[in-house]
Structure 1
Amino acid sequence: MCGIVGAIAKNDVVPFLLEGLSRLEYRGYDSAGIVVANEGLHRLRTTGRVSELSKLVNTGGTTGFTGIAHTRWATHGAPSERNAHPHFSGDHRKIAVVHNGIIENHEVLRQRLQQDGFRFLSDTDTEVIAHLVSFHLRETDDLLDAVCSSLAELKGAYAIAVMEESRPDRIIVARNGAPLLLGIGEDGFYAASDASALVQVTQQVIYLEEGDVAELSDQGYRIRNCLDSVKGCEVTRTVTTSTLTRDAVELGPYSHFMQKEIFEQPVALANTLEMVLNAQSISPQLFGSDAQTIFSQTKRLLILACGTSYHAGLVAKYWLETIAKLPCDVEIASEYRYRDPIADPTTLVIGVSQSGETADTLAALNYAKALGHRYSLAICNVPESALIRQTDLRFLTRAGPEIGVASTKAFTTQLAVLLLLTAVLAKMRNKLSSQEEQKMIAALRHLPVAIQRALQSEPEIKQWSGDFSQKHHALFLGRGVHYPIALEGALKLKEISYIHAEAYAAGELKHGPLALVDSGMPIVAIAPNDELLEKLKSNLQEVRARGGQLYVFADADSQIEASDGVHIIRLAEYGGVLSPIMHTIPLQLLAYHVALQKGTDVDKPRNLAKSVTVE
């Protein structure tokens, strides 16, 4: 989970590299480094944020027309200057390497290279790549050939960029299992892990495919695919115009990206549901040209996801089984890929991921296919991601770039798409009447407005945040379809405020968690005015009888009254089937404002990174 940026241009590339790193910092921020060619390779590395690297660059007056840079989230080796990228190898033909991913066979390669006389100066798996390229440069004068030969020996997922001191007029980049794209600019050629790093210079991009190796020079670029052979053959990849704009990846009037993304949710949901909002009916074609055929053969669903996306899948399970009457299993992708489940060709496998590059979700999807699952669907926010390219059907959430590590608008747009999928499947199975379909469309049309109203609870939530910030633990309770929302609320609080928070189905209180309840334990309850409200009230009484402090998010017409130890915030309306999406909003705001009170880094919480591209 690291960020790579590279450039070869007609002007000084250092400002571009530093700005690109700052835009990629959500991918990793425990150390950063840069190397540029200027009468030799000049490298600067530091622990901490990109801002620290910028200070070093400005102090040293570093400039150059060719360079690569990196922001790191540590996997192999502690965050330190010696483990920061770029890594060097070689004396006569010195090279520099930056890397995103994990090399699984690095220990075997390290032992072999040490026997060949290579000296390792870091604890990283990345240094293996640098020495391996140097080794193969003994056999060829061409850096591109040496990189291709090296890649043939690597096992794992990676994106890399390589420079050679004796040839400062080119950069070699490659991808296999980790994202990397090229930028075609008027004054140069660029590479980055994410399009957000390129908007400053170009919107013309090439998304490299698995096994692609590209050579960038001041004259242009060429691409080989080395997946099937050592040398590979040259290939042509489509140049596309990115729709990403500078405004989309800048803060604007907001204090944090998380705050911005919370308040962007009404627009993100409207964009995601645009094709439905103007339609008179819900069509399977929304999920792809083959959706009608595939859905008609679907008798079961399997959702594979991680983290917040997994919680979206848990909500969808309630919807799919209740409305569409289809059995649904939801699996944590990192667990599914290591067990021996029973495959069913009539099961539609659904991969849910914000980035579409989540390593465990991609591996689980491929594993499901290998087991015999025939059809797959991707729900994702990135159009050119690996997940989108590897599935039969797809739906883009159109949430726009999400920079904050704690997911907000990606989650609610995933929920909206999963509810839309539920409606399509229910209609095809004659479980949704025409009247019910129109009600569903009306509810989805109203959703952006309902979310805007839910955001109006912010002033009251700010008042709660002062009390919460003094606590060390919290419990979140929900029942039925709102239990996964409680899970998501607890995750948000622990992610950015570092308060230990756990979520339970409220009926489970007396089976253990009630032992934790006392006057110092805040309990957050989601209390929509649904068929389980009376059951939830009984659970809340159990908490109050033991001195617990209740913080309840209720609907306007929920018959729950505030009293000593019972604090209530009421949403403007009851959302019906959309209630889980609406009740997500105040939980996001609670986590955000508690984190502000505690003074934590809201957008870049410790030990976490946004795009989890390693196992």
Structure 2
Amino acid sequence: MPRFFKLYNNALRKLAGCFKDIRLPLPILGLGCGVLGLALPKTTLKLGEYASQLLRALEYRGFDSTGAAFQGEDENIVLLKDVGAPSTLVKTLGIEKQSGKLFCGQVRWATFGNVDKINAQPHEVKCKRHIYGAHNGNITNTRELKIWLSKEGHTVLSDNDGEMLVHSVEHFFDIEMDKAGNPEDAELRKACMRRAIISTAERIVGSYAAVVVDPKTQTMWAIKAGSSLYFGVGELDGEPFKLASSDLTAVLRYTKMLVNLRDGEFVEYTSADYKVYAQKKLRFKRVNAPDETYVAGDLIDTKPVLSKLRAEDVELQPEFEYFMEQEIFAQVESTGKLVKLFQGGSNSGKRMLELIQQENLDELLNSKLKEILDCHDFDQRNMVFDALLASSEFTNFFETAQANYRAIFEVAVQEDFEKKYFFSNDKNTLIDLIGPEYDIRRLILAKAFDAVSESHSVQEFELSVQGFLDRVKNTIINSRNAYSIACGTSYNATKVGALFFNEIAKVEIIPILPGDFRGGYSQCIKDNDLIIGVSQSGETKDLIDIFNDIEASNVKTSQVVLVNNLNSTLGLEKGDLAIQILCGPEIAVPATKSFMNQITLIYYLAIRTARMKLEEGLDCETEEQRRKQLASLKAREQTLQQIPFLIKETLENTSDIVDSIAAQIYMEPSMHILATKISGVAMEGALKIRETVLNHAEGREASEFKHGPNTIIGKNTVYGFKHLRSFMRALSGVVENLYIKAEEQNISRRETRAINNALVDYIFTGNMPFNLSPEADKLFRATVEGHNFFDSLYRNYPLIYVTGPDPRDVNLTISQINTHKIRGANTYVIAEEDERLLKNASDNPREGGRYGWGYVMLPKTGDSLLTCFSATVALQMLALKMSLRKMKKLDKLNIQDHGVHPDVPKNVSKSITVD
């Protein structure tokens, strides 16, 4: 048998050689990396601990390399960096044990420069002046900068665009210092650095967020130039600190007080103070007020504001193992919050508001709420709260509530009262004021404040919706076009949204990617066109560029953005108005609840648009038509409140069958998701599988599959683990039989090896050998004669069908199922209960042959538009379960760096931002 294993191993090596040149394209959804800059007033032994926590918090943004620079009381820098994720390197590099007062850190998702230590960040430079820094972003003229810097006398060590940025700042800093006569005065030196940062911006092409540090003045600068950047102020161990971070989550772990940085601004800071400056000429739109305008170098008055999030909002809850799982289940709550907003607020909030107005306390509570939200620290907020708690006004209100709203007192004793009955955007601030001990008076006062705050949100939301309707009306009246522009998951949401507007409001909205808009429509836009930008983060660079292009064209369009973060570049600067999707923070890279809230909001906007058209007489020719449409619209409005329950029921009732299907297909290398009419859902489901499972998956309209893509069914050259395992089993049988025959015919070991080599060559080239002895040649020909070595590689191709209950859609799906399964496809259906669908999916086209099928039965609604919500949940869970199974399988096989993970899959990243 040893000879058999040698032959077998030779065959394996030959097979491996045939696949060595295959390159698998992987999706790249956004630029990753994360940059950090922390300033403390004095050296502390805990700085390494803080740095490690911050770096680990940003691991989802990049894990190709990790780096940290520490500075104490003098100008010496301790720079620690290497290839690998922060979860590992904070220990192995000794980051956890460092002391100091300044920390500059970076986690890298590689773009420019190989994944190696020399390209890791931060970078310390001393060619002309001593500074250090790091960046997050994409500097596209990196090559040109390297050539220029080298000619200017800089020693450039890497190909990393971050090093080019730091050297560029150093270069211009040196020029400014020379011009100023090399001042020793700290303020003059800072002014030189500010001018250097401005000059660097003029030299660099691309987008970035960066932190640079002058060791001499121990001052840090955080620059927002096209990439997201957040800045927090607060106290740590009783001492003031300042913290810059590419994403909000890291800042929220240390403070709730945020300084809003807009694109084109930079902040100069120490632990004691900060100042915000313009990096270039800036213009910011303001509603019903003159635009803000600045020139480069202008000081910008910016005050800290209280974040509406708590640290718990960005942490994994005990009942979940992964953020993606947690966020899928959180869709019940996130859509429920939106629906309450649609309905004018929560029932408890509206009832509480009635009591407040009855007691004439609305003016007092409004003023005290503003006072609380304007306070910079918790103690100040608590003082305002306690003072009102002790007042006679609140005592009277509390007694009135006891008498007239007993229901709130009965539920207030429940452990999760705050989670179930606080709904405002300020709820986290108010919950903090309740304190750790149960105190019914504090609970009722906090709830009263929550009701007031919720009423503000309702009013603001209604104003924004009305603004949207005004713009839609203007576009309809002027017979112009409406475009919804977005990337990735948000684009898929706009595809679903176009369906909603067509079916509900009979309004055409063209969903399109930014690049396709630039190529196909940018020269065609006219006055009164409506531009709708959709983005989770509000920092999507491709989308921002389109808004900039439209603004530069001077065409008078209406512009609306749907974002999760109102304090983002899109939310603040691009568009006439912004509407918040209110999904809360989303930590996992694959978007789930942001998509669900986007389509929920768009569904509502379509309903409101339909009602506006009816009320304005834009849609009906006769009164009879109007009555019918009004009745249909009222029924549609009733479905809004069903959405959270539909999501919940889907999660509860489809888990087992979804897991069963996941077990069948998680190792398949490719699959298609085919939808009738609801193709946006199929596209989003496929994106989730591509992201989390790293399998090829494509979503498309079902009938389009037969126009070319169906050629993948049957024999193809798309192979995965199961295909290779089947092939190797078959090949091992052939080799074993060859070994036995060679032994029986007394063929020598040398000749047997020659037969083996000839066999492997023949399998992959079809060339017959001419170097064998007659005996060996005879055995070779007997082995290969009539044998198809590749039959074992072929498997049925998985097709997932998604359809609503409309009979036309069901019939089309049945036709597709039968067309494709007879050609070698397995069938998996996601739909509401339908006997014909079930029968056609389950029937094996070849009795006794291999055939896989499954049926995810969605909750019954009888409504194809509601299927968009339930089918989305099923596909999200399918992607999650496939990802977990594949991740465990590859881990068990000890395959390093495979990148399969539901929260942080390789090669993709996102910006987690929320107001």
TM-score normalised according to structure 1 size: 0.94
Residue among 881, 892, 900 paired with 1:593: 881
Instruction: Give SS of 1:605's match.
Output: coil
Change (3 A) 1:242 1:284: closer
The answer to whether the Cα contact below 8 Å between 2:530 and 2:558 also exists between their aligned partners in 1 is yes
Are 2:222 and 1:173 aligned?
A: yes
Please give the alpha-carbon distance, in whole angstroms, between the structure 1 residues aligned to 2:541 and 2:862: 35
Rounded Cα–Cα distance in structure 2 between residues aligned with 1:112 and 1:219: 37
1:478–1:527 contact (8 Å) kept in structure 2: yes
Distance apart, 1:279 and its partner CA: 6.8
Q: Does 1:542 align with 2:819?
A: yes
Conserved in 2, the CA contact under 8 Å of 1:46 and 1:52?
A: no
2:650 maps to what in 1?
454
For structure 2, the residue ranges without an aligned partner over 5 or more in a row are 1-31, 178-188, 282-293, 347-457, 620-625, 715-794, 845-851, 888-899
- Partner of 1:388 in structure 2? 571
Report 1:343-382 matches (<5 A): 343-371=525-553, 372-382=555-565
Encode CA deviations 1:360-412: one digit per residue, 9 max, x unaligned: 11112222333425111111111211111111122111111111111111111
Q: What secondary structure, in the 3-state scheme, does the structure 2 residue paired with 1:608 have?
A: coil
Shift of 1:612: 10
Q: Which of 552, 575, 578 is 2:829 aligned to?
A: 552
Question: Is 1:35 matched up with 2:69?
Answer: yes
Aligned residue pair count: 611
Q: Which residue of 2 is the match for residue 310 of structure 1?
A: 491
d(CA) in 1 for partners of 2:305, 2:470: 30
1:325 pairs, out of 492, 495, 506, with: 506
One-letter code aligned to 1:241: L
Aligned to 1:166, what secondary structure does the other structure show? coil
CA 1:230–1:95 in 2, change beyond 3 Å: closer, same or farther? farther
Give, in whole Å, the separation in 2 of the partners of 1:560 and 1:104: 52
The equivalent residue for 2:208 is 158
Partner of 2:608: 424
Worse overlay, 597-606 or 148-157? 148-157
Deviates more, 1:139-148 or 1:451-460: 139-148
| Offset from partner CA, 1:67-112 (integer Å, 9 cap, x none) | 1111111121122211111112115742111112222333333322
Please tell me the residue identity of whatever aligns with 1:595: S
CA contact (8 A) 1:93 1:164 kept: no
In structure 2, C-alpha distance between the alignment counterparts of 1:60 and 1:260, rounded to whole Å: 29
2:601 is equivalent to residue 405 of structure 1: no
Q: For residues 288 and 278 of structure 1, do their structure 2 counterparts lie closer, same or farther at Cα, with a shift above 3 Å needed?
A: closer
When residues 442 and 279 of structure 1 are mapped into structure 2, their CA distance, relative to the original with a 3 A threshold, is: farther
> Residues of 2 paired with 1:249 and 1:231: CA distance?
36
Residue-by-residue CA offset, 1:260-288 (whole Å, 9 max, x unaligned): 11111111111223211347999993535
Offset at 1:165? 2.5
- 2:49, 2:96 within 8 Å by CA — same for their partners in 1? no
In 2, Cα distance between the equivalents of 1:384 and 1:558? 50
Per-residue Cα deviation, 1:217-245 (whole angstroms, up to 9, x for no partner): 13211111131288612111132111121
- Find the counterpart in structure 2 of residue 492 from structure 1: 688
Match in the other structure for 2:396: none
What fraction of aligned residue pairs are identical, expressed as a percent? 28
2:275 counterpart letter in structure 1: R
Q: Distance in 2 between matches of 1:570 and 1:581?
A: 14
Contact 2:63 2:85 survives alignment (8 Å): yes
Distance 1:325 1:434 in 2: 14
User: Cα gap change, 1:282/1:55 in structure 2, threshold over 3 Å: closer, same or farther?
Assistant: closer
- Cα distance, 1:293 vs. partner? 3.2
Which residue does 2:858 correspond to in 1?
571
- In 1, the alpha carbon distance for the partners of 2:490 and 2:659 equals 27
Q: Which runs of 4+ in 1 moved over 6 A?
A: 279-284
Cα pair 2:566 2:578 within 8 Å, conserved: no
Q: Which residue of structure 2 lines up, in the alignment, with residue 113 of structure 1?
A: 149
* Alpha-carbon shift at residue 436 of structure 1 (Å): 3.4
Instruction: Give the 3 Å change call, closer, same or farther, for CA 297–113 of structure 1 in structure 2.
Output: same
**Native 8 Å contact 2:194 2:297 kept in 1:** no
Larger relative strand fraction: 1
Distance across 2 between alignment mates of 1:513 and 1:527: 19
User: Which residue of 2 is the match for residue 217 of structure 1?
Assistant: 270
Quote how far apart the aligned CAs of 1:37 are. Answer: 0.4
Inter-CA distance 474–349: structure 2 relative to 1 (3 Å threshold): same
Paired letter, 1:546: R
Give the alignment of 1:329-344 within 5 angstroms.
329-338=510-519, 340-344=522-526
What CA distance in whole angstroms lies between the structure 2 residues aligned with 1:504 and 1:233? 50
Moved more, 408-417 or 574-583: 574-583
Please report how far the alpha carbon of residue 413 of structure 1 lies from its aligned counterpart in structure 2 after TM superposition: 0.7
Given that 1:288 and 1:394 are in contact with CA atoms closer than 8 Å, whether structure 2 keeps it comes out as: no
Matched residue, 2:442: none
Could you tell me which amino acid in structure 1 is paired with residue 871 of structure 2? H
Residues 249 and 912, structure 2, Cα contact 8 Å, conserved in 1: no
Shift of 1:467: 1.2
* Cα shift readout 1:563-589 (whole Å, capped 9, x = no counterpart): 244321201222622221221011111
Q: 2:339 aligns with which of 273, 278, 303?
A: 273
Match of 2:197 in 1: 147
**How far has the Cα of 1:348 moved from its partner?**
1.0
One-letter identity of the residue aligned with 1:469: Y
The answer as to 2:7 corresponding to 1:7 is no
1:485-524 matches, cutoff 5 A: 485-518=681-714, 519-524=795-800
Mapped to 2, the partners of 1:206 and 1:438 lie a distance apart of 44
Q: How large is the Cα RMSD of the aligned pairs?
A: 2.4
2:906 equivalent in structure 1: 606
In the alignment, is the contact (CA less than 8 A) between 1:285 and 1:292 conserved in 2?
A: no
Which has more helix, going by share of residues? 2
- Structure 1 residue ranges without an equivalent (≥5): none
Greater alpha carbon shift after TM alignment, 90-99 vs 355-364:
90-99
Take 1:283 and 1:5, find their aligned partners in 2: how far apart are those partners? 34
How has the CA–CA distance of structure 1 residues 200 and 59 changed in structure 2, closer, same or farther, with 3 Å as cutoff?
closer
Tell me the SS of whatever aligns to 1:152.
Answer: helix
| Deviations 1:267-326, CA, capped at 9 Å, x for gaps | 111122321134799999353563343232023310111111111111111222232222
Mapped contact 1:527–1:558 kept (Cα < 8 A): no
Over 3 Å counting, the alpha-carbon distance change for 1:240 and 1:105 in structure 2 is same
Aligned partner letter, 1:574:
T
Report the alpha carbon displacement of residue 60 of structure 1 after superposing the two structures with TM.
Answer: 7.5
Q: Which amino acid aligns with 1:391?
A: G
Q: Which has the larger radius of gyration?
A: 2
- Matched residues in 2 for 1:424 and 1:193: separation? 37
Q: For the residues of structure 1 that align with 2:459 and 2:52, how far apart are their CA atoms?
A: 46
Tell me the TM-score normalised to structure 2 length: 0.64
Q: CA separation in 1, counterparts of 2:685 and 2:824? A: 22
Say if 2:262 and 2:568, in contact at 8 Å, map to a contact too.
Answer: no
Report the Cα distance in structure 2 between the residues aligned to 1:478 and 1:291, rounded to whole angstroms: 30
Q: Deviations over 1:492-514 (max 9, x none)?
A: 11111111112232112322233
Between 139-148 and 322-331, the greater mean CA deviation after superposition: 139-148
Cα drift, residue 156 of structure 1: 2.3
Structure 1: how far apart are the matches of 2:490 and 2:644?
Answer: 20
